[in-house]
């Protein structure tokens, strides 16, 4: 992954078409390396989560070119690579596993991350997740604790329990979450390790139960 990280560090400092066109070969190589890693990651996750088996890299990878038509940020290229591995692909609305490489301090997630869960779920999905927590709070709590090394994403959590839910509920803080997602920040040493794939799969495997519970709620909402 060294070449991937090197390219991202360079595009961060030279985010313009002229530089990109002159260094297209470096992008092509970095993109190929990340795509190859994602393919192995899909297969590895499929070993412990059957719901993602059969996915292709096309189902999981995001475009590197930014849509700047309606954005005040006119940089034409992203400064990260990301892959989201979830049932039926990245646009399905299901919970999944997100692998993210970004040079530290680049301004998007400000570094490398492993995430599992839902980000900006549809209102009916979030409602279903909260109802699932209300009915099976102990199970949800156990799944969170099972994910060693991960923390809940609570930067956008509500200050109060949402209307219609008991404020004295044992796991009221879980009901406040807007993005039920587990996050693990990792450093360059993690990304550049010769055992990156094995270490990533080991980490994500600890979040399987959490992801499975969320997708049960997604399925219920979609029915």
Helix axis angle, 123-135 to 208-222, nearest 10°:
120
Query: pLDDT at position 92, please?
Result: 96
CB contact set of 125 (below 8 Å; sequence gap of 6+): 93, 118, 217, 218, 221, 222
The interaxial angle of helices 24-48 and 196-205, nearest 10 deg, is: 40
Half-sphere exposure of 193 (CA within 13 A, CB side): 11
Q: What is the pLDDT of residues 193-221, one digit of tens each?
A: 999 999 999 999 999 999 999 999 999 99
The 3-state DSSP class for residue 82 equals strand
> Residue 108 sits in which domain range?
2-222
Cα distance between residue 12 and residue 78, in whole Å: 8
User: What whole-number percentage of the chain has pLDDT above 90?
Assistant: 90
Q: Tens of pLDDT along 150-168?
A: 999 888 899 999 999 999 9
> What is the C-alpha separation between 105 and 133, in angstroms, rounded?
35
> What value does the mean pLDDT of the chain take?
96
**pLDDT tens for each residue of 34-75:** 999 999 999 999 999 999 999 999 999 999 999 888 888 889
Radius of gyration for the alpha carbons in the chain, expressed in angstroms and rounded: 18
**What are 110-142's pLDDT values in tens digits?**
899 999 999 999 999 999 999 999 999 999 999
Question: What order of strands is seen across the sheet that includes strand 96-101?
Answer: 81-85, 96-101, 112-117, 181-186, 151-152
Q: What is the CATH number of the domain that holds 140?
A: 3.30.930
d(CA 63, CA 16): 16
- Say if CB 108 and CB 79 are below 8 A apart: yes
Report the domain count for the chain: 1
């Amino acid at each position: 992954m060294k070449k991937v990280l090197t390219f991202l560090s360079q595009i961060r400092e030279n985010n313009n078409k002229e530089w990109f066109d002159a260094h297209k070969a470096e992008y092509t190589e970095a993109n190929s390396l990340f795509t190859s890693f994602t393919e192995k990651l899909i297969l590895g996750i499929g070993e412990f989560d059957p719901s993602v088996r059969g996915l292709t890299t096309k189902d999981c990878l995001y475009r590197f070119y930014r849509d700047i038509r309606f954005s005040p940020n006119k940089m034409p290229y992203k400064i990260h690579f990301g892959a989201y591995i979830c049932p039926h692909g990245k646009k399905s609305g299901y919970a999944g596993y997100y692998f993210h490489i970004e040079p530290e301090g680049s301004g998007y997630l400000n570094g490398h991350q492993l995430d599992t869960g839902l980000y900006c779920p549809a209102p009916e999905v979030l409602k279903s997740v909260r109802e699932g927590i209300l009915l099976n709070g102990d199970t949800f709590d156990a799944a969170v604790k099972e994910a060693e090394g991960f923390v809940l994403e609570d930067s956008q959590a509500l200050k109060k329990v949402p209307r219609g839910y008991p404020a004295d509920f044992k796991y009221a803080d879980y009901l406040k979450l807007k993005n039920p997602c587990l996050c693990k920040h990792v450093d360059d040493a993690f990304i550049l390790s010769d055992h990156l794939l094995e270490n990533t799969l080991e980490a994500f495997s600890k979040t399987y139960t959490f992801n499975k519970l969320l997708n049960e709620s997604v399925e219920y909402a979609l029915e």
